[in-house]
Amino acid sequence: MLVLSRHKDETIMVGDDVAITVIEIRGDKVRLGIEAPKSIDVHRREVWAKIKAANDGDGGEAIPVPAA
C-alpha cells in the first residue's frame, strides 16, 4: 500500500485519468473529490462490496469491509 500525505486542495493522480483532491479536512473526516472518466466506476468500498456480491450471484462471499 502506498501511503501519501496531502493538504487541503492538493491532488493525487492515479494513472493519467483519475485525480483525487482533498476538498476539506474536518476533525477525523476528510472530504475527497474524485475526477475520473465515466467509463470508470467510483464507489465507497462498502457500496462496491455490495454491488460485487449482488453481481456474483453465485453465493460467493463478499469482500469484508472494516467497520467505520
Cell numbers 476528510 correspond to: 30
Closest alpha carbon to 6 in 32, 27, 43, 28: 32
Rounded Cα distance, 4 and 2, in Å: 7
The tens-digit pLDDT sequence of the chain (68 residues) is 999 999 999 999 999 999 999 999 999 999 999 999 999 999 999 999 999 988 887 555 555 656 55
Q: pTM of the entire structure? A: 0.74
User: What does the DSSP 8-state code read for residue 40?
Assistant: S
Per-residue model confidence (pLDDT) at position 63:
59
